[in-house]
Amino acid sequence: MRLENCDLYRDKDGCGNCYYLIDADWTRIANCRFAGTGFSSLDGRNCVVEDTRNIGNTLSFRHGVHNLFVARNELELKFGGDREGFTTDGSPKAISDWGPRDSEGSGWTNHVERTRLQFVDNAMRDCTVAIQLYGGGRDVVMARNRCARAGGFEAYGLHSRWPAHNIEFYGNVVEEGNSLRGPFNQPEASDSYLGSSHLTSKPEIVLNRHFVLKDNVIESNGRLAAFAVAGALIENNIVRDSDVGLEGGRFNPTLFVGSNRFERVVQTYRNLEGAVLKGVQ
């Protein structure tokens, strides 16, 4: 399916969709302009979204997305709904034999199975969060994306059964951290995050594993985040003009923190006891 060179507008608040594509395998969305306050949703295998402009329009990639390439898109002025930029917000669908075991220990669980996603050279402004893996994913790369006045770039597992594994952040830039609300759409404005968070009712389950944060730049009001990830490499990043440089959390002994640069940062490390530290520039 091809959706190319189109202008689509929606005026319904909250849940109005410019497009809603389910099981849309081999789809290309390119050179389009979308405007509205709701979501545009895509679910399918082997899909490309490139060179689109989005005004007030969230791009949502749902539970059945595999082999997705998202590049050179622009998104701005997202003030309606949850104010997300790019998100994987969607219901679980696939059954898989990897990830956390169920309550009976069978090893088979129902959880989100989004795999092999790439977000490259996108630009987001004025939204709650620029790109988020809401409820996880596997084998995901976010590279050379830029955001301003947005919540940053995040990945986190959810609800004790939706994991985030093998997530890599390369060369992303937070040009201007902070926004009208926090990264989770909470009422108070707060710093932008780049890395992992963890929302679960069972903190003993490890949902986030194997992250790489490398060559990223945060220019102001943001921080590198490793709140709840088991196994992470964090090196060659730059954080400027912020309250915190890098914040850790539950699995600090599994973090390898290489040489990073912190300029005019009030607190270089927060909650990072036990992590392997190899140098600060």
Share of the chain above pLDDT 70, in %: 79
Q: Is the model's pLDDT at 112 over the cut of 60?
A: no
φ/ψ of 95, rounded to 5, equals: -105, 130
Q: Is the model's pLDDT at 139 over the cut of 70?
A: yes
Contact in structure between 218 and 242 (CB atoms under 8 Å): yes
197 Cβ contact partners less than 8 Å away, ≥ 6 residues apart: 154, 155, 156, 183, 184, 225, 227, 228
Q: What is the pLDDT of residue 177?
A: 83
What is the rounded average pLDDT of the residues 259-270?
92
Give the type of residue at 72. R
Q: What is the pLDDT of residue 46?
A: 92
Q: What is the spatial distance between Cα 168 and Cα 197, in angstroms, rounded to a whole number?
A: 14
Residue-averaged pLDDT of the chain: 80
Q: What is the pLDDT of residue 169?
A: 95
Pick the residue with more confidence: 53 or 20? 53
10 CA to centre of own chain:
25
What is the rounded average pLDDT of the residues 200-217?
80
pLDDT tens for each residue of 142-189: 999 999 988 888 887 776 667 788 899 999 999 988 766 666 666 677
DSSP string across the chain? -EEES-EEE---TTT--S-EESS--S-EEES-EEESSSEEEE--EEEEEES-EEES-EEEE-TT-EEEEEES-EEE---STT-EEEE-------EESSSS--TT--S-EE----EEEEEES-EEEEESEEEEEET-EEEEEEES-EEEEE-EEEEE-BTTTB-EEEEEEES-EEEE---SS-TT--SS---EEEEE--B-S-TTS--EEEEEEES-EE-SSEEEEESSEEEEEEES-EEEEEEEEEE--TTGGGEEE--BEEEEEEEEEES-TT-EE--B-
Contact in structure between 74 and 53 (CB atoms under 8 Å): yes
169 Cβ contact partners less than 8 Å away, ≥ 6 residues apart: 142, 143, 153, 194, 195, 211, 212, 213, 214, 216
Q: Is the model's pLDDT at 254 over the cut of 60?
A: yes
Split at pLDDT 50, 70, 90, the class of 30 is very high
pLDDT tens for each residue of 44-83: 899 999 999 988 878 888 777 889 999 999 988 876 666 7
Q: What is the spatial distance between Cα 250 and Cα 196, in angstroms, rounded to a whole number?
A: 11
Q: What is the spatial distance between Cα 105 and Cα 109, in angstroms, rounded to a whole number?
A: 9
Nearest to 179 by CA among 78, 56, 75: 78
Pick the residue with more confidence: 206 or 76? 76
Q: What is the pLDDT of residue 183?
A: 61
Q: Is the model's pLDDT at 226 over the cut of 50?
A: yes
Q: Which residue has the tokens 């005004």?
A: 55
76 CA to centre of own chain:
16
Q: What is the pLDDT of residue 105?
A: 46
Q: Which residue has the tokens 């893996």?
A: 133
